[in-house]
Amino acid sequence: MTIGQLNSRAVVRVSPLDESEDAAAFLQGLLTNDVTGTLPVYAALLTAQGKTMVDMLVWRDEHDILLECEAAEAETLAKRLSLYRLRRKLDIAVDAGLAAFWSDEAADGFVPDPRLPALGYRRLGAISTGADGVDESYLDQRLSSGVAEGSTELGDILWLETNAAELGGVSFTKGCYIGQENTARMNWRQKINRRVVVVPLAQSQEKRCKAAYPALGLAVDHLRVDDIPAEAVPDWMTLAAGEA
């Protein structure tokens, strides 16, 4: 069993400062998924055009909402959400005392990754400063499962092109959110021209490569559907007939 802290992840806490405030309701109008029900869920904050800004896992801590995201983007996420706060009595900040933990097998206190069973199990807990992380093991597991995440791999890509629908990262029945119009239109048309896929490094297209991992022999490319190698399509991804 591999279990430990993910040092490449961080947590943004959204806390109501008044009993009349609702952190989940605030985020419901901003994020791609329904955050008012059972958590954790996979979601993202998009641009108005429906492109990915920050992808995340959304957790609940009593009345607070916790946004687990790439550590390098945590401050950016907190600042961006603060712009939408307006006069709401909410505190939005990186929680330096919390960390994300990952296990490749079921363990006490851990829950399945909401995106895909193959991604293992997660929990949030008190940070262990200086602890060796399991980030490399998690990266290997994630890429081997064909799943991309983070700003380098997903940044500025239309949310549905990141395979968000297949990974449970979007609700098509909730109300409006930032980037919803273009996302809903793409879903209605059932036409996604490009996809983010994990490919063998030797088959990566230089101009379409988002990230390369020589030690793993893998790369993350943003390819036209017609150009995706058949062996790069994971079992959980089904390309619609209209896409091929």
Residues 157-201 pLDDT 10s? 999 999 999 999 999 999 899 999 999 999 888 889 999 999 999
pLDDT level of residue 119 (50, 70, 90 thresholds): very high
Q: What is the pTM of this model?
A: 0.95
What is the structure's pLDDT at 242? 42
Assess whether pLDDT exceeds 90 at residue 235.
yes
Q: What is the mean pLDDT of residues 100-122?
A: 98
* Superfamily name and number for 3-232: Probable tRNA modification gtpase trme; domain 1 (3.30.1360.120)
Q: How far is CA 155 from CA 33, 47, 164, in A?
A: 18, 10, 13
Whole-angstrom distance, CA of residue 46 vs CA of residue 51: 5
What is the structure's pLDDT at 115? 99
Q: What is the mean pLDDT of residues 123-139?
A: 93
> 125: which 2 tokens?
């807990």
Task: Give me the chain's average pLDDT, please.
Answer: 95
pLDDT level of residue 131 (50, 70, 90 thresholds): confident
Q: How far is CA 26 from CA 34, 61, 81, 173, in A?
A: 11, 15, 10, 17
What is the structure's pLDDT at 191? 82
What is the structure's pLDDT at 40? 99
Assess whether pLDDT exceeds 90 at residue 241.
no
Ranges of each domain in the chain: 3-232
What is the structure's pLDDT at 240? 58
Q: Distance between alpha carbon 104 and the CA centroid of its chain, in Å?
A: 18
Assess whether pLDDT exceeds 70 at residue 210.
yes
Residue 173 φ/ψ, nearest 5 degrees: -115, -10
Residue with tokens 């943004």: 12
pLDDT, one tens digit per residue, over 79-109 is 999 999 999 999 999 999 999 999 999 999 9
pLDDT level of residue 30 (50, 70, 90 thresholds): very high
Residues 28/35, Cβ–Cβ less than 8 Å: yes
pLDDT, one tens digit per residue, over 6-19 is 999 999 999 999 99
Whole-angstrom distance, CA of residue 45 vs CA of residue 58: 11
Whole-angstrom distance, CA of residue 81 vs CA of residue 89: 13
Among residues 32, 122, 21, 126, the alpha carbon closest in space to that of 63 is found at: 21
